[in-house]
Amino acid sequence: MPALTAHGPDRRDFVCGSGSGVSEKVAVMDNRTTQKVVRFLSAFSLPGFDTPQPPGDYLVEHDEEPIESGSSLAWRRVAAFIHLPAISIRATTQQMVPIDPAFLEDALEQDRKQS
């Protein structure tokens, strides 16, 4: 059974034995999800949305995977989702809709220009 040693929130090292008396240390890194709240002051729409969304605060999640090069660790965004409806709107159901982060940034920039 591998021994588990924690090294930070997203990295674990497993010590594996092959039965030959030689142990090997293998680094295993987990994907992570980051969250942020974005604010729209005006109604907005993104590609793939059926209707414009009302102004408000929206939770956005980014799924990221580790990229290791040399001694540094970086994260690559592999997916992004926005939660609908806005945080302040009470609804019986919520959706987590996949979005392109570039389109989200463009919509936020347009929103800032309108204000």
Residue 70's domain comprises: 31-114
Q: Are residues 1 and 14 in the same domain?
A: yes
Q: Are residues 6 and 48 in the same domain?
A: no
How many domains does the structure of the chain reveal? Answer: 2
pLDDT level of residue 56 (50, 70, 90 thresholds): very high
Mean pLDDT of 84-88: 94
- Contact by Cβ (8 Å): 58, 38: yes
Three-state SS for 109?
helix
Q: Are residues 12 and 52 in the same domain?
A: no
Mean pLDDT of 25-44: 84
Q: Are residues 19 and 6 in the same domain?
A: yes
The pLDDT mean for the chain works out to 81
What secondary structure letter does DSSP report for 91?
-
Q: Are residues 15 and 50 in the same domain?
A: no
Integer-rounded Cα Rg, in Å, for the chain is 20
Three-state SS for 52?
coil
